[in-house]
Amino acid sequence: MSRGGWSCDDKPVSYGWLAGYRPQGETEDADVARMRELAWTETDPWLRSLPLHFTASALIVHPQSGRVLLRWHQRQQRWLQVGGHGDPGESDPLAIALREAAEESGLPDLCPWPDAALRHMVVCQVAPGKGEPAHEHADLRYFLATNEPEAVVPENADAPLRWLSLGEARELVGDNNLQATLDRVESLLGERRPAARLSLT
């Protein structure tokens, strides 16, 4: 049991993440249908050369304060969750989300929260850049928790990090589909007293 009242036990990754996922609403239902077709028709659906390919991301949470961590994405010109592409040979979305989250946040103690379940599946539009044309990400989203929010370290100067209340996060993300992800983490966090903003940039 870790300090703060929640535990981070090692759990086996479920390999039935795609077949067993239940979308919520018409938009996600359509996105999930496209993702399942991608998985069934492509030998390696994680390849960046595909116009639609899988990515894995995570909304990092500090459960004790109810805050979430957002990262500035220069290419998208938005505050979003951490995450990204699988490396060659990787195909476990939770492992990819954990690796990417650790690299982008510097947090040493990240673990799935409150469990290892896949929390949101979204097809995202990606602007052209870095020699790549416009394309789409089939993004697989998880929730990860930390007990050490003060330990964040931005990956680089162009990718600042901010701890925010859910209300502050909603204002920053605007009409992005991350709003639905925030709804889902809010339902898990439940009612909490307001916490003072932690400025970590």
Say yes or no to pLDDT of 199 above 50.
no
Residues 47-65: what's their mean pLDDT?
Answer: 96
Look at residue 161 in the predicted model and tell me its pLDDT.
98
Look at residue 16 in the predicted model and tell me its pLDDT.
67
Say yes or no to pLDDT of 2 above 60.
no
Look at residue 6 in the predicted model and tell me its pLDDT.
41
Say yes or no to pLDDT of 13 above 90.
no
Residues 82-99: what's their mean pLDDT?
Answer: 94
Give the alpha-carbon dihedral of 178, 124, 60, 72, to 10 degrees: -90
Residues 179-191: what's their mean pLDDT?
Answer: 91
Residues 121-145: tens digit of each pLDDT: 999 999 888 888 999 999 999 999 9
Residues 38-65: what's their mean pLDDT?
Answer: 94
Instruction: Please tell me whether residue 48 adopts helix, strand or coil conformation.
Output: coil
Say yes or no to pLDDT of 3 above 50.
no
Say yes or no to pLDDT of 81 above 50.
yes
Q: What average pLDDT is seen over the chain? A: 87
Map out the domains of the chain as residue ranges.
Answer: 26-189
E strand segments, the chain: 52-62, 67-73, 78-80, 82-84, 111-112, 120-126, 135-145, 161-164
**CB distance 56 to 100 below 8 Å:** yes
Residues 168-188: what's their mean pLDDT?
Answer: 96
Look at residue 171 in the predicted model and tell me its pLDDT.
96
pLDDT band at 197 (very low <50, low <70, confident <90, very high): very low
Q: Which fold has domain 26-189?
A: Nucleoside Triphosphate Pyrophosphohydrolase (3.90.79)
Say yes or no to pLDDT of 112 above 60.
yes
Q: How far apart are CA 68 and CA 164, in angstroms?
A: 5
Say yes or no to pLDDT of 12 above 60.
no
Residues 178-182: what's their mean pLDDT?
Answer: 97
